[in-house]
Amino acid sequence: MHHRIITSAARAAAFITIAGLAAGDSHAQTTFTWTAGNGLWSDTSHWSPAGSPGAGTFLDAASIAAPGSYEVTFDVFREIAELSISNSSASLRIQAGRQLTVSSSVIGPGRIIIDADVNSGTLFVLDGVTIINTNIMLNDDLAGPIMGHLFGPTVPGEIATIGSDATVSGRGGLIGLWNNEGLITVSNPDDHIVLFNPGGELSQSATGKLRTDNNGVLQSQSLTINGGTLECSPTGILEFHAVTATNLAFEGALTVQPDNSLNLGHGNTYTAPIRVQGDFITNPGILRVLDGVTIHNADITLDAPSASRAFLVGGIGVSDSAIIGSTSTVRGTGRIGGNWTSIDGTVAPGSDTDAGTIDNNSSGLILADSSVLDIDVFSLTEYDKITGGPTTVGGTLRARLKDGYIPNFGDRFTVVSNVVSGHFDDLDLPVIGDSLFRIARDAPGEVQLIWTCYADVDPNAVINIDDVQAFVDAFLAGDLVADCVRNGTLNLDDIDCFISNFLIDCD
């Protein structure tokens, strides 16, 4: 008996027709109860009444309730209305190459194992079915492409549900139109679940969760995951290609691996840090923020051996743009591309232990008034930077000397290239004795830090009359560049301090 794909309308008509038959008609629904022990579904002696569910009509019900620990092996092609495995110690195993279709309900708490080898074992649930309190194990034998299938409706407008107390795990495919209220999990090295949805969306309720751990793989392509939670451990693996997340809570530690891409839509929350990886062998990992989306409270690390190998992209179309919100951080080594309205949060190339480069490959990167550019300086040649461009600067520039490094007088560090406009409103720069970082004024089109002294108010590592004029201008304008004594106010003490430093010279 081959499976027939039945739409909800056709199935409803069939129910009406059969319900109208005489009460004693052989096509009326029969509830078959498994009697005891291991056995084959097709073995009529194991059922009461004697027979086999689905052999005569697709309205039959199967109840696996007998006490004891045993396994029922599904070895045929059948369609039934109801499946109940009320004995939690019992299992239903669907053999490779066999298909069980259920049209009304699947109720646990027993377990369903779906086997596969070169052929697919399949549990096919139709429109409106909710899988309740059931542990479904996809059990592909690793012999080839993933074949064990939990199949839902495929007709637009129809949907099946994984209930809040149900779990899907193992190695196989979750295919069709689903609403997930329960747990879909890969938590072992051999676990690998492929999410394939011809309608383009996996919807999740507030209780719905996708989980990866212990080198388990969750894979999908061109899918929108809407709602619920995505929980990843550092050892969980996502193989996402053009997967879009909307209204999704990210938990744990999410990694977008090389040759994978994830799109961030509206309504997501980020308690998990996001790492976008790259290498020199495969295509870059890509994290894309869709048009009009502002990313709030996200910690995004671009983790690549060079800036061209991990991408953070704003929008998809040429007129799209996105925003990194004021509570978000982008760090590491990688490329920012696409179109951005602004970067309102923190940009921190590199890490606490290594210098890094953010390559600006966007149509124009704007560091907004609320932004912070965090720069670590490890040596004259190893320091954080933004390259590429064009870049509009603003907000706060914060720099730190790392690992005990102290520059020599006049050392320069180009921390932002191709600056087209703007200036930093606030500077948080290191001071050691009478030496400090200032932004060089003789480097147009760049943000260049120069290690100099207080008297070099016109920063170029040369002390001359220009510095006197620059100090006077700053003092009269109330600019704290003239705050030589570093107390946050301008007064005669700053004039005395400047004169003393000017006369001493800096070199």
pLDDT digits (tens, 9 = 90+) for 440-499: 988 999 999 999 999 999 999 899 999 999 999 999 999 988 999 888 899 999 999 999
Across the beta sheet with 391-393, the strand order is 365-366, 391-393, 419-422
Q: Are residues 202 and 242 part of one domain?
A: yes
Q: Are 506 and 452 in contact (CB under 8 A)?
A: yes
pLDDT of residue 72 exceeding 60, the answer is yes
Mean pLDDT of the chain: 91
359, 479: one domain: no
C-alpha triplet 294, 299, 302: angle, nearest 5°: 100
Is residue 426 one of the residues assigned to a domain? Answer: yes
Same domain, 371 and 472: no
Looking at the structure, tell me whether residues 343 and 486 fall in a common domain. no
Residue 313, in any domain of the structure: yes
Whether residue 385 is contained in a domain is answered as yes
Domain assignment present for residue 4? The answer is: no
The verdict on residue 81 lying in a domain is no
416 and 474 fall within a common domain: no
Assess whether 469 and 321 both reside in one domain. no
Same domain assignment for residues 493 and 451: no
Instruction: Identify whether residues 479 and 343 lie together within a single domain.
Output: no
Q: Kindly state whether residues 483 and 375 are assigned to the same domain.
A: no
How many domains, in total, are found in the chain? 2
User: Which pLDDT score, from 0 to 100, does residue 14 have?
Assistant: 41
Q: What share of the chain is helix, strand, coil (3-state, %, to 5)?
A: 10, 45, 45
Q: What is the mean pLDDT of residues 291-318?
A: 92
| pLDDT (mean) for 430-444 | 92
Q: Rg of the Cα trace of the chain?
A: 32
Task: Give yes or no for residue 358 having a pLDDT over 70.
Answer: yes
Confidence of residue 9 (pLDDT cuts 50, 70, 90): very low
pLDDT band at 507 (very low <50, low <70, confident <90, very high): low
Q: Could you tell me if residue 60 is inside a domain?
A: no
Torsion sign over Cα 19, 21, 23, 25: negative
Query: What residues make up the domain containing 484?
Result: 465-507
What average pLDDT does the segment 120-146 reach? 91
> Rounded mean pLDDT of 312-338?
93
Instruction: With CA atoms as reference, report the closest residue to 310 among 279, 288, 284, 273.
Output: 284
Indicate whether 362 and 500 sit together in one domain: no
Asked whether residue 287 falls in the same domain as residue 361, the answer is: yes
Distance, CA of 455 to CA of 444 (rounded, Å): 21
Both 374 and 269 in one domain: the answer is yes
